[in-house]
Amino acid sequence: MATWLITGCSTGLGRAVAQAVLAHGDNAVVTARNVTTVDDLAAAFPDTALALPLDVTDRAQISSVVQQARTRFGGIDVLINNAGYGYRAAVEEADDADIRQLFDTNVFGAVDMIKAVLPDMRAKRAGSILNISSIGARISPAGSGYYSATKSALEGLSGSLHKELQPLGIKVTVIEPGAFRTDFAGRSLTQSATAIEDYAETAGKRRKENDTIHGTQPGDPAKAAEAILAVVNSANPPSLIVLGKDAFDAFAAVAQAERAELDQWRDLSLSTGVEG
C-alpha cells in the first residue's frame, strides 16, 4: 500500500486524483488551503485518508504536513504537485505582486514540496514525484505568458530532477494536461486588474470576461486521475506525458513547427563555429 501526498485537492484534478487513489486502496494525504473542502474525503475513507490544511507558499505548513504523514502512514511514496492557479494578462499588463505570487505558488511551492519529501525518498531509494504542468508550457498562448512561464520553469526543473534522481531509484514525471472540466477557468483563474486596449485582439480574448470554454472542456478529470495512477504504477514511467487529445495534437503541432524552423535556419545556426 503506497502513501500519496497530493496538493490542491479542493477541486478539479487534485480532488479526482485523491478520490482515485483512495478508491484503489492506497493511503492519501489530501491537502487544501481550506481543509474543510476535503473533510468529506477523510470521512469517507477514515483509515486511509488524512486531510490537512496546506498553503504551499507556507514552509512551516509544508514541514508539518510531511511530519504528520510520517506519523500516520510512515512516510510518503508519491508526491503530486498539483496546487496552482491560472493567471491571464498581456506581459505588459501584469501586476508585479501578482507575478510574484504566481511564481511563489506554481514554482517555488512545488520546489519546497519536493525538498521536503526527498530526504525520506533518498533514504529508501524509492519514490515518485509528479509535477502537474500544462500544455500552456508548450503552446504559450497570448495572454498566458506568466502562467506558461511558471509551468515552463517547473518542467525545466523537472528535467534536471529526473536525471539527478533516476540513479537513486526515484521517478519524476511531468504531466501536461489539456483542457479538463475542472474549476481552472473559473475560481482558479485570475487576471490583471489592468487591461490595455492595444492587446484586445490578442491577450484580451483570453480574459475571464471573454472566456467561453469554462464548463465545456473536453477532458474528464476522473479519466485523467486513472491515467496518473497508471503512470505511477508503471515500471518505466515517462519523463513527460500529455493528457487529452487537445494536448496531444497541440504538442505534436508545436514539435513539427519547431523542427521545421530549426531546419530552415540550420545554415545560420551552424555558421557560428570557430574556424581553423
Measured CA to CA in angstroms, residue 83 lies from 111, 184, 269 at distances of 12, 11, 39
Q: Cell numbers of 269, please?
A: 545556426
C-alpha Rg value of the chain to the nearest Å:
20
Q: What is the Cα–Cα distance from 206 to 193, expressed in whole angstroms?
A: 14
Q: Which residues contact 217 (CB under 8 A, 6 or more apart)?
A: 179, 180, 181, 182, 185
DSSP bridge pairs for 116: none
Catalytic, out of 87, 128, 144, 147: 147
Catalytic, out of 10, 144, 151, 171: 151
Which has the closest alpha carbon to 132: 238, 13, 260?
13
Q: Cell numbers of 84, please?
A: 496552482
CB distance 44 to 22 below 8 Å:
yes
- For the question of residue 133 being annotated catalytic, the response is yes
CB distance 168 to 240 below 8 Å:
no
Q: What is the Cα–Cα distance from 26 to 18, expressed in whole angstroms?
A: 10
Catalytic, out of 10, 87, 128, 133: 133
**Residues recognised as catalytic:** 133, 147, 151
